[in-house]
Chain A
Amino acid sequence: MRLGLGVAAACAVVACAPLCAHAAGTIKIGFPIPLSGPTAVYGQPVLQGAQMAVAEINAKGGVLGKKLVLLPRDSKANADEAVRLSRELIIKDNVDFLVGTLTSAEAPAVSTVAKENKIVFIAPTSKSTILTDAQHIHPYIFRISSNTDVEGLAGATEMARFKSVKTVATIAPDYAYGRDSINAFIKALAKLRPDIKIVDEEWPKLGEADFTSFITAQMSKKPDAVYCSLFAGDFVTFTKEAKPRGYFTAIKNRMVDGAEVGTTDEAKALGNDYPYGIIGDAYDPVVWVGNEPAAHKKFITDLKAFTHAKYASGWSIVGYQSIYALADGIKKAGNTNSDKVSKALEGLTFDTPVGKRTFSVKSHETFAPEYWGVMAKEAAYPFAIIQNPELLPTSFPTN
């Protein structure tokens, strides 16, 4: 018996040896992201984008000769859980960096963990301005997506183009992101079109199952157009309840939505129930009819193969960009020390399938524009796509 145990222990040591040696030559990236609950719809494709980037980089020999290893954890879109997992990833798994989180509830919370532990943390999707504003910025936090100010400006730019619109109503989920994005939109619109009046604001809760009463209340104010920040399942439910009530006809389809309802994910879910003619946006149009950049075409082809999906997700790109940005930062720094990598990331310009991005030195974000356009029916696809995707806004703070 004792001999058996000894042999087992010896085997364990031998078995570990190659693994342990291997571990020394890796760069570990902790990746807390919602993989269950309603927001997993987007958590999963963001993770898949990151996994594809890791696979590509490793196939080319890794970074500084080391392989990247992704450690995904299910944050359940819960700030406390994301913080707990991040601490565990740092202490137990000895990760070198953190990438991930989806919502503006998780990201600012994980940002404080990154600050305490002096570990670079890249947030792919959190849009709330508080993540990197003057009070919350620290050397280790970086953001890939745009923020609500950028989104509101782009939305206001689209809205301002409706010359005959004099009254606008808004509808957005009642939490940090919804409030921030509507405030930014109203501020930007006041500058672009001071003649437009905001006549109604509706605030359904996030995950609202029944928008009927919000819809009828809003219609009673007879707005010329609507700015909307509903997304994901909320937008699907809202549309299905609003359409038969004549909501979209009443506003002549003059709705602008800045919450990624232009993604294939959203369009696929609604199919022919999609309110064709509204203006939507996406991190990545995915289905790009017209002058598609070659790099984007290749990215989508690879992504479809990688995820075994017929149509790729419009969310994977931000996960993909996050990993490439981090890899470029490590290369530039020449090692995996977070202080060095943080310095390297400041002002770094990195290549992505949808063009170059640069981290600002002051606020560590890229102010990434998104693709906007009229959501139209295209014969070749069973769902709505963005017609002539246009990058908006065209100017933003550059400091």
Chain B
Amino acid sequence: MSGSLVFSQFMGGLTTAMFLFLIASGLSLVFGVMRVINFAHGSFYMLGAYLAWQAVQWVQPSGGGFWLAAIFAAVAVGLLGAVVERFLFRYLYGRDELYQLLFTYALVLILGDAAKFLWGVGQLSVSAPPLLSGSVQILGTTQPLYSLFIVVIGPAIAFFGWYALNHTGVGRMVRAAQMDREMLDALGANVGTIYTGMFVFSAFLAGLSGALVTPIESIVPGMDVLIIVQAFIVVVIGGMGSFWGTFWGSVIYGEVLSFGILIFPGFSLFSVFVLMAVILIVRPWGLFGKPL
């Protein structure tokens, strides 16, 4: 196994990992703060992809205006998140997990059908922005610029999230809400607004990752369900509700999958699930989670 092969496998795994992290971080945040497992998170991601495609068609059918489209998609999905939280999720806090699962799953079906109604069932595709459509030679391998961009943007968002949570006033409020909601409420803080804000941020991240994935993946009905399973595995490996846990969970998932493909062709998915099983046996609360 040559050095350049190991490097290109590693970079491939890292690209996978950073995409997963962008998506899973929102899922993990909402669970950590609100204790809601939002299965519709994958649907927000899918809507981000469709909206980005739609915006590219509006701006410039020849395929320009990608960045504008990505921001539009992320903001639009964030706004949808606000509506969903204000009018629907609000009634779920503190309820049994079963209700949450049923409710968010219903949202998956509704949003999935809505996307099909609006954009049809065909596969859609967005070209990479001209600035990042090339590639560079690193250590004897060809690395697409767009993948490198994703590898940079992932840790940047992780750092931003960590900083905001630990070193800002808003972050302190969020952590307080995570620890003791009633007490924070009694102290006069507006917990409702904090929850809405967190949910919008989570939806924004999902919409952004959906938009950013369009240059390297086809946009098809069903992409919502495929991604939520992976994002869920990552969150479980890392520890439900732990931000860094989700980050390292993604890296481990991406690299195990990538080297699994090389070492056990045909059994790569198997290796990921073995990993998850082992981690859950040894640490049922995940790598960075706390025992419940």
Contact = CB atoms under 8 A, between A and B. Distances in A.
B261 A236 contact: no
A240 B230 CA distance: 21
A282 to B, nearest CB: 16
Contact of A269 (B63, B124, B258): B124
A236 B220 CA distance: 10
B12 A38 contact: no
B226 interface: yes
Nearest to A250: B142
Contacts of B133: 244
B261 A210 contact: no
A201 B125 contact: no
B223 to A, nearest CB: 7
B275 to A, nearest CB: 15
B71 interface: no
Contact of A209 (B116, B125, B144, B226): B226
B207 interface: no
13 contacts: A36-B121, A41-B122, A44-B121, A174-B266, A202-B265, A209-B223, A209-B230, A212-B12, A212-B13, A241-B216, A245-B135, A265-B122, A265-B123
Contacts of B11: 216
Contacts of A216: 5, 8-9, 11-12, 141
A252 B122 CA distance: 29
A268 B143 CA distance: 27
A277 to B, nearest CB: 18
Contacts of A237: 216-218
B199 to A, nearest CB: 25
Given A237-B216, A245-B142, A213 B221 contact: no
Contacts of A207: 222, 226
A209 B145 CA distance: 19
B127 A271 contact: yes
Given A236-B218, A240-B125, A269-B122, A217 B265 contact: yes
Interface string B237-275: 000000000000000000001110110011011000000
Contacts of B227: 209
B146 interface: yes
A37 B216 contact: no
Which of B141, B220, B266 has the most A CB atoms < 10 Å from its CB? B220
Contacts of B142: 244-246
A37 B146 CA distance: 28
A272 interface: yes
A288 interface: no
Nearest to A247: B142
Interface residues of A, number: 41
Interface in B186-237: 215-218, 220-223, 226-227, 230
Contacts of A268: 122
B155 interface: no
A203 interface: yes
B147 A40 contact: no
B66 interface: no
Interface string B7-19: 0110111011001
B128 interface: yes
Given A41-B220, A209-B223, A271 B5 contact: no
Given A36-B112, A234-B218, A236-B125, 11 more contacts: A43-B121, A44-B121, A201-B266, A209-B217, A210-B15, A213-B258, A213-B268, A220-B2, A240-B125, A244-B128, A270-B125
B234 to A, nearest CB: 13
The secondary structure that dominates the A interface is helix
B134 interface: yes
A347 interface: no
A9 B125 CA distance: 54
Given A244-B128, A244-B144, A41 B121 contact: yes
A25 to B, nearest CB: 34
A216 B257 CA distance: 13
Interface string A244-275: 11100000000000000000010011111100
B222 A213 contact: no
A213 B218 contact: no
A203 B270 CA distance: 12
A62 interface: no
Nearest to A212: B12
A52 B16 CA distance: 43
A203 B266 contact: yes
A202 B264 CA distance: 10
A188 B101 CA distance: 50
Interface in B13-43: 13, 15-16, 19
B124 A38 contact: no
A273 B121 contact: no
Nearest to A34: B121
Contacts of B128: 240, 244
Nearest to A273: B127
A215 B143 CA distance: 12
Contacts of B134: 244
B10 to A, nearest CB: 9
Residue with the greatest number of chain B CB neighbours at <10 A, chosen from A203, A233, A241, A245 = A233
A276 interface: no
Contacts of B226: 207, 209
A37 B222 contact: yes
B79 to A, nearest CB: 26
Interface in A183-230: 201-203, 205, 207, 209-210, 212-217, 219-220
A207 B227 CA distance: 10
A51 B127 CA distance: 34
Contacts of A38: 220-223
Contacts of A35: 121
